[in-house]
Every structure is written in structure tokens, then in C-alpha cells.
């Protein structure tokens, strides 16, 4: 409706708000889209992989045997599509599955496993491997090839102007994410606040990036630390989300004031980095004078905002390091259990509703260093994580979505329960190996933890 309403007139602020509102769905239509990124490396040498020759392009081409349709930008294949799922490239060649919106974790895990089997067949033929960590363990930034995507060229030039680690974010990090629906503005607000406050708890549970350039970084999630110095205009814990009156309008005002990266016209990216979407709406964008935006431009702009939870026409959970195959299904299971059951959502909010706004940003930084040993509200993150997982487990049990073997979805949290009970993050397990049997060789991770 919003597209039709503004075809013959310039966009106004209310159109931007309605675009978010249009994402609301009845609970019967709620789905989860799971995403994960992984590093691609040369078997044997562990080197990063260029677009070509015998690299990322060949990997994309090889996957077309499974019914994936190539998506090109100019002469370059830069993504694949199959149904509602896609495979895409991050700036340094990180290989991402953006899964279809699915109803159960059983379906998500089947989709994820199928994808990893497909890519492994093709990668084996090319002498390539995949690694799931939050930060590349050995590569320097200048060693990593650049993928041929127009938006990344613009971001690469802009990032050093606004933060110290934006290029590291682009080229050296990998994450696992989950996208969840909301039923109304009030439901969005409840889910946004709860998931944003608890995002550092997920960061701690999934912390899996203790190495930088071959040695310990002093951090448990080097990926999470990168986001603390990437671009303050478009990252962070969004204090306004916890303030009275938060809703679609407040988020639209925030997004409107985030500086732009690009505008896409005729299949090409126009560099408008640092310029204002407000000026764009007035036809006064310096990079495109006289041109006004469409809702597609607004949708594109929302993808250039990187807070720990991001609102589009659904909510994106963005706080976790990538990890092994066994843990990829745990992230969507965690958030589905917390957010898709009303009793679980209320109980989860009770855990964090009294945290001070100042606690959120501090906790975000602390868990990158301390993991489950960080503290908030007079408790350790380990204790909070145990409560969070108990709530999620009960939420999944009440959903009672059974697999063919009549098993509910709560089993996908098993590895997270083990982490929380032990108080030892995956990153600390890697450090134990580094300081023990690996004898100080972080490169051993490519053999021990490759998919």
C-alpha cells in the first residue's frame, strides 16, 4: 500500500514510518530467518581466498548445480538465490547463507545442514575450507582480497573517516544472526527492548574470537570489540529504545539521521557517503541534486545501520560470533524461545528491565573482554545466562513444535546450556587449546574447527 500511495508524490516522513509498520504479522505467520557467515580459506596453506581465479566466483558457480540462481552486478556474480533463501558475499569474501523465513528450528537446522553439505562438496573440489569464528584468527587486513561489490567500495572509503575498526568489521569478522517477526507496534517495542538488553548475554554465550593475527587478542570476542569503534552514528545499544514513547516513529527518526552510504540507480551504486537522507527527501542531496528517494531507497538505507538489534520489517539479532556447525541452530532457537512465547518474553524482560541505561553500553564492552564473568545488576552474566536459557527452553517447550521424531525445539539449546553451566566460553576453550596441545599455533584452528 505504501508503495502505491507515494508513487506520484515525494516521500514524506509518514511513509517511512508506515514502511516499518507494514512488517507487522499475526502470530500464526511469524517465521524466523537464520543467517550465518563463515571464512573461506585454502586447504593446506590457510590463506584467504580471492574472488578469482579458483576462488569465490568458482564457489558460487559450483553451487548452481543445486538449483541456485546467480545474481550479478555488472559482469560479476555476487550472490545466489533459491526460493526465499540467498547466498551472498561479505566484503572480504566471507560466505553467508541468508535462510528462508521458516516456521520451526527443525526446518532451520535442516536448511543450514543442507547448505553446508552443498558448499562442502563444491569447496572440496576447489581445495577450499570453511571456518566459523567471530574474527579471522591469523590474517592481516591487508592480506584479505576485496570482493567486487559496489557498496563495499563506498564503505571501504568511508569507514576510516568515522571509526578505527570499521575496516576490520568489514573484512575480518563473521556472525550468526536471526531475524524475527512482530505482531504490532507494542509487540515490536517489547521484543526490541528485551532482545537489545539481552544481546550482550548472547555475545558472551557465543564468544568465539580470541585470536587476532595469530595470537591472543586479550578479548574473548574480538568481533564484538570491533563494533565499539566502527561508526558511532550507526552502531551501539540505542538508549532511546528504552525511553518512554519508543515506537516506529522514534526508530524512523533515528534512521533518518544516520548518514547515508549510497543510492542505487540503474544497477549502480552512487556514492553519497556522509550525506543526509533528509536532504534526499527534499531533493537536495549533493550527490544527486533534484532526485528524491523511493521506498526502495529507504529500505536500502536501513540495511546500512548496524546496532546490536536492527529494525527493518522484522527484528535482526546481531550480537553473536559465528561458530561451529553444531552451534549455528542455537542462536535462532534462543531468540525464538525468548520472543515467540508471551510468557517467556515477559519473564525475559523481568530479568533486565531494571538495568540502568548506562549498564547496556558498559555490558556490551565488558562481555567482549570477560565473557560470562562480566557483571550486570549485581549478578554475573553467567547467572543471567542460566536464567535466560531456562526461560528460552520453557518458551520452546510451550511452542511444542515437534520434529518427525516427536522431539521439541528445546534440544537445540543444549550446547548453550553446557557453556552457561561451565562458565567457560567457546573462546576460552580455544585459548586452552592454544596454550596446550596447539603449542601457541593459532593456525591449528583451521584444521580442528573447519566445517
Q: Kindly tell me if the per-residue pLDDT of 6 is higher than 60.
A: no
pLDDT digits (tens, 9 = 90+) for 338-370: 999 999 999 999 999 999 999 999 999 999 999
Percent of the residues in the chain that have a pLDDT greater than 70, as a whole number:
98
Torsion angles phi and psi, residue 247, rounded to 5 = -175, -160
Percent of the residues in the chain that have a pLDDT greater than 90, as a whole number:
97
Q: Kindly tell me if the per-residue pLDDT of 53 is higher than 50.
A: yes
Residue 83, sorted as left (phi over 0), alpha (psi -120 to 50) or beta, turns out to be: left
pLDDT digits (tens, 9 = 90+) for 176-198: 999 999 999 999 999 999 999 99
Length of the chain: 451
| 404's grid cell | 518427525
pLDDT digits (tens, 9 = 90+) for 149-167: 999 999 999 999 999 999 9
- End-to-end, the C-alpha distance of the chain in Å comes to 44
Is the separation of the CB atoms in 135 and 222 below 8 Å? yes
pTM of the predicted structure, to 2 decimals: 0.97
Q: Kindly tell me if the per-residue pLDDT of 2 is higher than 90.
A: no
Give me the DSSP letters along 255-286.
Answer: HHTSPP-EEEETTEEEE-TT--HHHHHTT--T
Under CATH, what is the fold of the domain 31-258+305-448?
Creatine Kinase; Chain A, domain 2 (3.30.590)
Q: Kindly tell me if the per-residue pLDDT of 318 is higher than 70.
A: yes
Would you kindly state where each structural domain of the chain is located, as residue ranges? 31-258+305-448
- Give the 3-state secondary structure of residue 363: helix
Q: Supply the pLDDT for residue 3.
A: 46
Report how far residue 368's alpha carbon sits from residue 380's, in angstroms, rounded to the nearest whole number. Answer: 14
Average pLDDT, the chain: 97
Binning pLDDT at 50, 70 and 90, where does residue 269 land? very high
Tell me the mean pLDDT in the region 274-278. 97
Amino acid at each position: 500500500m505504501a508503495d502505491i500511495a507515494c508513487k506520484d508524490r515525494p516521500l514524506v516522513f509518514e511513509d517511512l514510518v508506515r514502511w516499518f509498520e507494514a512488517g507487522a504479522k499475526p502470530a500464526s505467520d511469524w517465521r524466523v530467518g537464520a543467517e550465518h557467515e563463515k571464512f573461506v580459506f585454502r586447504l593446506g596453506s590457510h590463506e584467504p581466498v580471492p574472488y578469482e581465479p579458483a576462488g569465490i566466483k568458482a564457489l558460487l558457480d559450483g553451487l548452481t548445480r543445486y538449483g541456485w540462481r546467480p545474481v550479478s552486478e555488472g559482469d560479476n556474480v555476487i550472490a545466489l538465490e533459491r526460493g526465499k533463501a540467498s547466498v551472498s558475499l561479505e566484503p572480504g569474501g566471507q560466505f553467508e547463507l541468508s535462510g528462508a523465513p521458516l516456521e520451526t528450528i527443525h526446518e532451520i537446522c535442516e536448511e543450514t545442514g543442507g547448505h553446508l553439505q552443498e558448499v562442502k562438496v563444491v569447496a572440496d573440489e576447489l581445495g577450499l575450507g570453511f571456518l566459523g569464528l567471530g574474527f579471522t584468527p591469523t590474517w592481516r587486513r591487508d592480506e584479505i582480497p576485496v570482493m567486487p561489490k559496489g557498496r563495499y567500495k563506498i564503505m571501504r572509503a568511508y569507514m576510516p573517516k568515522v571509526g578505527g575498526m570499521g575496516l576490520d568489521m568489514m573484512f575480518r569478522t563473521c556472525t550468526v544472526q536471526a531475524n524475527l517477526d512482530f505482531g504490532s507496534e507494542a509487540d515490536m517495542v517489547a521484543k526490541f527492548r528485551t532482545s537489545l538488553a539481552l544481546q550482550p548475554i548472547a555475545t558472551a554465550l557465543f564468544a568465539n574470537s580470541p585470536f587476532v593475527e595469530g595470537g591472543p587478542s586479550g578479548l574473548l570476542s574480538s568481533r564484538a570489540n570491533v563494533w565499539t569503534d566502527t561508526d558511532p552514528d550507526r552502531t551501539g545499544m540505542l538508549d532511546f529504545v528504552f525511553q518512554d514513547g519508543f515506537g516506529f516513529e522514534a526508530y524512523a527518526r533515528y534512521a533518518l539521521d544516520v548518514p547515508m552510504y549510497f543510492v542505487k540507480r540503474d544497477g549502480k551504486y552512487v556514492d553519497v557517503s556522509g550525506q543526509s537522507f533528509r536532504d534526499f527527501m527534499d531533493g537536495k542531496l549533493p550527490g544527486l541534486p533534484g532526485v528524491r528517494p523511493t521506498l526502495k531507497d529507504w529500505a536500502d538505507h536501513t540495511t546500512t545501520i548496524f546496532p546490536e538489534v536492527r529494525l527493518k520489517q522484522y527484528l535482526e539479532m546481531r550480537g553473536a560470533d559465528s561458530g561451529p556447525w553444531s552451534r549455528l541452530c542455537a542462536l535462532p532457537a534462543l531468540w525464538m524461545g525468548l520472543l515467540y512465547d508471551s510468557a517467556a518474553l515477559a519473564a525475559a524482560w523481568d530479568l533486565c528491565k531494571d538495568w540502568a541505561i548506562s549498564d547496556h553500553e558498559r555490558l556490551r564492552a565488558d562481555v567482549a573482554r570477560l565473557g560470562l564473568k562480566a557483571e550486570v545488576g549485581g549478578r554475573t552474566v553467567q547467572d543471567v545466562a542460566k536464567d535466560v536459557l531456562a526461560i528460552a527452553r520453557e518458551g520452546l517447550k510451550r511452542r511444542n513444535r515437534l520434529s518427525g521424531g516427536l522431539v521439541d525445539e528445546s534440544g537445540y539449546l543444549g550446547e548453550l546450556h553446557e557453556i552457561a553451566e561451565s562458565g567457560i566460553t567457546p573462546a576460552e576453550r580455544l585459548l586452552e587449546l592454544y596454550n596446550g596441545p596447539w603449542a601457541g599455533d593459532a593456525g591449528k584452528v583451521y584444521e580442528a574447527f573447519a566445517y
